[in-house]
């Protein structure tokens, strides 16, 4: 009896360690909700960039392939140095990873515990919550403010025992911003020994001011960046962490240090050298997003105005039904967040993809109205660019 209880305990310990070591990120979350044949249709469900890597990055990948037999660690050093120069931070404040999921996971594992909670926005990017839950930290979800920014005062009030405050700006899934001054306020008033993780995965699509200056000023702030979004390298895998060296040391106790794929290193490096890439892609994304918003306004659909490559569309009925109906039209849209069950996340794809999205949405929503035999939905704001009320 005693021994079976012991083995049960050790098994459960092994199981929770296994969970703690597992990375949950956007591709897994999107895949969990995805139709098996999604790749054969329009995939606007996981905030990828349909443009892929820029021409110089593709060329760099091809050119480095013959050297794939070597680890070539200096390429990681070169990219680290390049990022430090570009951002104006010392090189010891920068670490490169295969995407930003990994440093997010390690940071949450390092700074949360059963005694130190994880405070995040709702709706917000879910990945860190899985790590917090795996280390048995309390997960505290704080609704976004009325303007869809992070409600930093409410986050502070909800986390007197916080180990981590996680902010994503522009936020995934809403694409809305949290101001630099709000983040500064959070950093100035947070509990001692906690850290603020600012996930800037989508920052290049927006006009948001980065908080890299807070890293430079040696605050308890971590900035995460990825090459998966504007740089179109989700499948090549490259991301970076920027933080004070003593914070990095704590985070590295929880993993990291694996050799980076040389294809990712050279592609990232070539992308950073292309000075036109970010402004051009930002412009393309803004144009397509604005034209989709104009169409939605014209047709009376509500959405949350976004500054990113994704936005939340109010379907005014169970979002899951719309996801399924859209999949039947071969258009695969993103998931719902339980706090807003009538909203679905849409990624901004190419112009032809968004045309297909619009055609399919019209069909699906018209069919929904025609088929409806219940009482009319409660009136909601949101037409013609007004902010929709929250579910
Ligand atoms: C908010 C946010 N952070 C981080 C990531 C990390 O992605 P990756 O591991 O590809 O860098 C994503 C991906 O969608 C994301 O949405």
**Quick check: pTM over 0.85?**
yes
Q: Measured from the CB, is residue 101 less than 6 Å from ligand 1?
A: yes
239 within ligand 1 shell (Cβ under 6 A): yes
| Closest by CA position to 108, among listed 123, 118, 100 | 118
Q: What is the pLDDT of residue 258?
A: 87
Q: What is the pLDDT of residue 369?
A: 61
Cβ pair 312, 174 in contact under 8 A? yes
Chain segment 52-72, per-residue pLDDT in tens: 999 999 999 999 999 999 999
How far, in Å, is the centroid of ligand 1 from the Cα of 114? 25
Q: Which residues contact 79 (CB under 8 A, 6 or more apart)?
A: 96, 238, 260, 265, 268, 269, 272
Q: Single out the residue of 254, 180, 256 nearest to residue 213, CA to CA.
A: 180
Provide the pLDDT for residue 389: 32
Residue ID of nearest Cα to ligand 1 atom 12: 26
pLDDT at 36: 67
What is the pLDDT at residue 21?
61
User: 48 CB under 6 A from ligand 1?
Assistant: no
pLDDT in tens, 175-199: 999 999 999 999 999 999 999 999 9
Q: Which residue has the higher pLDDT, 346 or 371?
A: 346
- Check if 175 has its Cβ closer than 6 Å to any atom of ligand 1: no
pLDDT band at 139 (very low <50, low <70, confident <90, very high): very high
For the Cβ of 100 lying below 6 angstroms from any atom of ligand 1, the answer is: yes
* C-alpha of residue 201 to centroid of ligand 1, in Å: 6
Residue 380 pLDDT more than 50? no
Nearest protein CA to atom 13 of ligand 1, as residue: 26
pLDDT at 1 over 60: no
Token pair for 60: 């760099």
Predicted pLDDT at 34: 67
State the pLDDT confidence band at 216, using cuts at 50, 70 and 90.
very high
Mean pLDDT of 293-310: 98
Question: How far, in Å, from the CA of 192 to the mean position of ligand 1?
Answer: 28
Using the mean position of ligand 1's atoms as its centre, give its distance from the Cα of residue 126 in Å.
Answer: 10
Mean pLDDT of the chain: 89
Distance 376 CA to ligand 1 centre (A): 38
Residue 172 CB less than 6 A away from ligand 1: yes
What pLDDT sits at residue 382? 39
**Among 333, 366, 391, 377, which Cα is nearest to 47's?**
333
Residue 199 CB less than 6 A away from ligand 1: yes
Give me ligand 1 centre to Cα 8, in Å.
Answer: 35
pLDDT in the model for residue 24 = 76
pLDDT band at 29; cut points 50, 70, 90: confident
Cβ of 382 closer than 6 Å to ligand 1, yes or no, is: no
- Residues of the chain with pLDDT > 90, as a percent, come to 82
For the CA of 100, the closest atom of ligand 1 is 11
Q: Does the pLDDT value for residue 3 go beyond 60?
A: no
Nearest residue CA, atom 8 of ligand 1? 99
Is the per-residue pLDDT at 96 higher than 70?
yes
Please state, in angstroms and as integers, the Cα–Cα distance from residue 174 to each residue in 195, 319, 334, following that order: 23, 15, 12
Confidence of residue 383 (pLDDT cuts 50, 70, 90): very low
> How far is Cα 210 from Cα 201, in angstroms, rounded to an integer?
11
DSSP symbol at 39: G
pLDDT value at residue 189: 98
- Asked if residue 113 lies in contact with residue 137, where contact means CB atoms within 8 angstroms, the answer is yes
**CA separation for the pair 13, 32 (Å, rounded):** 26
């Amino acid at each position: 009896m005693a021994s079976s209880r012991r083995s049960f305990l050790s098994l459960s310990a092994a199981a929770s360690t296994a969970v703690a070591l597992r990375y949950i990120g956007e591709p897994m979350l999107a895949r969990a909700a995805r139709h098996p044949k999604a790749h054969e249709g329009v995939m606007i469900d996981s905030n990828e960039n349909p443009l892929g890597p820029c021409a110089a990055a593709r060329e760099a990948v091809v050119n480095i392939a013959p050297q794939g037999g070597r680890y070539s660690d200096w390429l990681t050093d070169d990219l680290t140095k390049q990022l430090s120069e570009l951002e104006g931070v010392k090189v010891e404040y920068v670490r490169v990873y295969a995407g930003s999921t990994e440093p997010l996971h390690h940071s949450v594992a390092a700074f949360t515990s059963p005694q130190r909670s994880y405070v995040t926005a709702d709706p917000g990017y879910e990945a860190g919550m899985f790590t917090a839950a795996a280390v048995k930290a309390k997960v505290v979800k704080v609704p976004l403010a009325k303007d869809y920014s992070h409600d930093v005062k409410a986050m502070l009030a909800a986390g007197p025992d916080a180990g981590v405050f996680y902010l994503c700006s522009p936020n995934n899934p809403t694409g809305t911003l949290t101001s630099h001054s709000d983040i500064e306020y959070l950093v100035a008033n947070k509990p001692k020994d906690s850290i603020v993780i600012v996930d800037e995965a989508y920052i290049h699509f927006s006009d948001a001011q980065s908080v890299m200056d807070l890293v430079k000023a040696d605050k308890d702030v971590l900035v995460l960046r990825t090459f998966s979004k504007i740089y179109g390298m989700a499948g090549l895998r490259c991301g970076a962490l920027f933080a004070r060296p003593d914070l990095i040391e704590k985070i590295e106790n929880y993993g990291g240090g694996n050799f980076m794929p040389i294809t990712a290193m050279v592609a990232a490096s070539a992308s950073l050298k292309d000075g036109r890439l970010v402004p051009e892609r930002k412009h393309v994304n803004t144009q397509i997003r604005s034209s989709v918003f104009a169409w939605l306004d014209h047709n009376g659909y509500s959405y949350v105005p976004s500054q990113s490559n994704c936005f939340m569309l109010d379907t005014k009925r169970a979002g899951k039904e719309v996801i399924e109906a859209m999949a039947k039209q071969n258009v695969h849209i993103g998931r719902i967040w339980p706090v807003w069950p009538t909203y679905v996340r849409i990624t901004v794809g190419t112009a032809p993809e968004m045309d297909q999205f619009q055609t399919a949405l019209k069909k699906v929503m018209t069919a929904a109205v025609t088929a409806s035999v219940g009482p009319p939905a409660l009136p909601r704001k949101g037409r013609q660019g007004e902010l929709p009320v929250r579910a």
